[in-house]
Structure 1
Amino acid sequence: MSVPAWRPSWLDALLALAVAGAGVVEAYGRAGAGPGQVHRPGLVAAGALAAGVLLLLRRRSPVGTLAALTVLSALFRVAVMDDDYPLAAWQFYSNLILVHTVGSEPAGPRGRAAGVVTVLAAYALLQTLPGQDVAESLIGAMFMGVAYGSGILLHRQTLRTVRMAQRAAVAAGEERTRIARELHDVISHNVSLMTLQTGGVRMLLSADPARDKERDLLRGVERAGRDTVEELRMLLGVLRNGQAPAGLDRLDELAGPLRAAGLDVRVATTGTPLPLPPALGLSAYRIVQEALTNALKHAGAATVDVTVGYTGAAVTVEISDDGRSTEAPTEATGEAPAGHGLAGMRERAALHGGTLHAGARPGGGYTVAATFPLAGD
């Protein structure tokens, strides 16, 4: 991809025109042979035009442009050495503008140091002009300091504005996600309820062989309802983080931080892995995630075995730990001490026509097993 060509802004052009114009007006408006007058107006005007050209480039390389202006001022100082002319207008204005630009540009430590050195060099050159005394030096230092300091303040204000804009964008994104989540909860609940009721009606008709057509229509409604809920989950996941939803192929990534925390997580797969619908894979992933979190935080487990089994008709996930089963989620309450328990896992399994079983293991430990059908109704 080609890099767009750099172009000066309208502000750069206006500043360049103002400095060059002021220099030319001064050169010919004060031309004369007397003391304090411009003896060589053509030379002063040429310097003003050159300074204007440099101002057009001030944003491309602020430090380099200020250094070039300092060299130009030095050459001009040598050329008018015999003239009793202290400071041209274009020198004063262009120095202040470029010093401000150097202060306002973002730069690392080296760039900032180079900028300070260049500013000091420009100020030192001004001290070689005729008629400089302590008062003139202090006035020049104040003007240069204000120009450089205002540039730094402008840079900081720009950064603050950018950060505020980024925070506003993040806040807007979070608000959109919250609204999407609420819509998802309301719509998916009602669609799931309609799907389950449709399935109930279809099962009531199963005994009547003359209702095959009605059963096929109801089966299509069920399928459309499940697809709708799946699409809602997918869209909510995209709004949350812009990434594809997690699935059973990412269990090793899930286990990594838990292993670092001291939990020995062993992931195994039986059967031939099959491509899963994204929503189903996400639900299975969340069940494993919840079970692993409970094993680490509430059961005090040291080892957890996660087994994913594929058959032609279903996929199963089983999470077994060796922790204290009395502190794990119980069938009676359906909740873990942290407030996230079996109820949510069962909802995820039931959403895809699956089942979930959980309970203490003989000899200690706890097992959570979920089964998701892959074919049929």
Structure 2
Amino acid sequence: MLRRLLGDWRPTWLDLLLALAVGVAGLVESFGRQEQIGHPVPMAAGAVAAAAAVLLRRRSPIAMLLTLIAVGLAVREAVGTGYYAAWHFYSTLILVHTVASTVELRSYRGGVGLGCVLTAYAYLQTLQTNDIAEVLISAVFMSVAYGSGILLRRQIDQTLRLAERTTRLEVEREERARRAVAEERARIARELHDVISHKVSVMTLHAGGVRMLLDDDRERKRERDMLLTAEQAGREAVGELQLMLGVLREAGDHVPETVRPGLSRLEGLVAHVREAGPDVRLRIIGEPRPLPPGLDLSAYRVIQEALTNVLKHAGAGRADVVVDYGPDELNVQVTDDGAGGGPAPGTAHDTGGHSTGGHSTGGHDTGGHGTGGHGLIGMRERTAMHGGDLSAGPLPGGGYRVAARFPLGTATETG
């Protein structure tokens, strides 16, 4: 039955300490002042009851305050003297504070709680030893106890609102990051679709051309049938890719193969960014050579996103682009002398007139030189797709650097 009444309520350490203080102080007062009290046992029993009310103060503060008033009346009747116990006054202040801190004043329960507080104060005025000074002193202590409870409740409400807002903002930030990753992956998929479709179409055309060359050779019927099967499979693959494209690509964002960007088009990108203000310098290390189309495109996009940062957020006067063709890996690096600290994430604009299936070269804003922007998410996705890694951060002497490494021997290619 007791468990059903208390429910999930559990006393805190503060509840236990306050109840213990009231109980011990009441017992000491009851048996230490027997000459003044006359009957210490009823007074001690009242102190124990007051300690129990303080222990249960958060479970039902209004009921405990009324209980304390009833305990005070009963003890006064049993003792029969004009002595007023100190433990009763301390307990009253604790419970008044609890009522104000747990009950909203502008609610129905708040009105009832205020009425109980006034009742407790009125009970104090029925004591025979009260004078004007005692009335004013008790009014001051009751007001402070009630006012401090209201301030505590408002502080708790504000803390809860801030915690709820922080949690909501954190959830929204994680959702934006997930959405940015999904959008960037869809964008990469659209670009890879163009590469794959082109390669499969070329293979299909070659298979069809060879089959037509063997059309008059009756001894090569088996070879013609195999080439026909390969040709049909190629056409089906292209058709399925076109069907998938309808899901991935936005309306009107198809880009012809002849304008697809790659590292061979870096000169044009660098020249366009240079026209916008920063002094951009391009340096090629090693002998440029043909790269897998997907890797070539991803390396170009990493440089493009980094230059978009330089142009929009870094406030840089100079930027250096380095492309290093190593024997086993490709390294690209963009370094600037800007201060970084760009605006909050938004939408970046095109830096060079080059597009990625209808999307601007800036794609998603990088949010300045930082680690939380969508542009950096895209660069990491593109680099990781080919088994590489990307690092980005401020330089010790000032400026910012973005560096990406693409393995050439173990890169995962679908084109």
- Report the TM-score range of the alignment, normalised by the length of the smaller protein: 0.5 to 0.7
1:215 equivalent in structure 2: 234
Greater shift, 203-212 or 41-50, is seen at 203-212
2:16 equivalent in structure 1: 13
CA contact under 8 A between 1:198 and 1:218: conserved in structure 2? no
Q: 1:4 to 1:201 in 2, by over 3 A?
A: farther
Matches within 5 A, 1:175-194: 175-194=173-192
Residue 24 (1) aligns with residue 27 (2): yes
Q: 1:213 to 1:25 in 2, by over 3 A?
A: farther
Local SS of the residue matching 1:6: coil
CA RMSD of aligned residues (A): 3.2
CA contact under 8 A between 1:198 and 1:221: conserved in structure 2? no
Give the partner amino acid of 1:135: A
1:152 equivalent in structure 2: 150
Matches within 5 A, 1:1-377: 5-32=8-35, 37-81=36-80, 83-85=81-83, 87-107=84-104, 109-207=107-205, 208-209=207-208, 210=227, 211-212=230-231, 215=234, 222=241
Q: 1:190 to 1:115 in 2, by over 3 A?
A: same
Looking at structure 1, the residues matched to 9 and 236 of structure 2 have their Cα atoms a distance apart, in angstroms, of: 64
Q: 1:94 to 1:222 in 2, by over 3 A?
A: same
CA contact under 8 A between 2:53 and 2:68: conserved in structure 1? yes
TM-score normalised over the length of structure 1: 0.54
CA contact under 8 A between 1:27 and 1:45: conserved in structure 2? yes
CA contact under 8 A between 1:123 and 1:144: conserved in structure 2? yes
Provide Cα deviations, 1:271-327, integer angstroms capped at 9, x if missing partner: xxxxxxxxxxxxxxxxxxxxxxxxxxxxxxxxxxxxxxxxxxxxxxxxxxxxxxxxx
Give the partner amino acid of 1:104: S
Local SS of the residue matching 2:103: coil
Query: Aligned-pair distance for 1:5?
Result: 3.0
Give the partner amino acid of 1:27: S
Query: Aligned-pair distance for 1:154?
Result: 0.5
* Bigger relative contact order (CA 8 A; separation at least 6): 2
Query: Aligned-pair distance for 1:169?
Result: 1.5
Query: Aligned-pair distance for 1:31?
Result: 1.9
Q: 1:131 to 1:151 in 2, by over 3 A?
A: same
The number of residues matched between the two structures is 226
Query: Aligned-pair distance for 1:212?
Result: 4.6
Query: Aligned-pair distance for 1:188?
Result: 1.8
Q: 1:224 to 1:176 in 2, by over 3 A?
A: farther
Query: Aligned-pair distance for 1:61?
Result: 1.1
Query: Aligned-pair distance for 1:120?
Result: 0.6
Gaps of 5+ in 1: 231-345, 349-377
Q: 1:4 to 1:199 in 2, by over 3 A?
A: farther
CA contact under 8 A between 2:121 and 2:142: conserved in structure 1? yes
CA contact under 8 A between 2:82 and 2:127: conserved in structure 1? no
Query: Aligned-pair distance for 1:157?
Result: 0.5
Looking at structure 1, the residues matched to 246 and 68 of structure 2 have their Cα atoms a distance apart, in angstroms, of: 69
2:285 equivalent in structure 1: none
CA contact under 8 A between 1:58 and 1:65: conserved in structure 2? yes
TM-score normalised over the length of structure 2: 0.49
Q: 1:11 to 1:125 in 2, by over 3 A?
A: same
Give the partner amino acid of 2:41: G
Between structure 1 and structure 2, the one with the greater Rg is: 2
Q: 1:171 to 1:5 in 2, by over 3 A?
A: closer
Looking at structure 2, the residues matched to 228 and 16 of structure 1 have their Cα atoms a distance apart, in angstroms, of: 67
Looking at structure 2, the residues matched to 58 and 173 of structure 1 have their Cα atoms a distance apart, in angstroms, of: 36
1:277 equivalent in structure 2: none
Looking at structure 1, the residues matched to 32 and 69 of structure 2 have their Cα atoms a distance apart, in angstroms, of: 25
Query: Aligned-pair distance for 1:183?
Result: 2.5
CA contact under 8 A between 1:192 and 1:225: conserved in structure 2? no
Gaps of 5+ in 2: 209-226, 250-356, 360-415
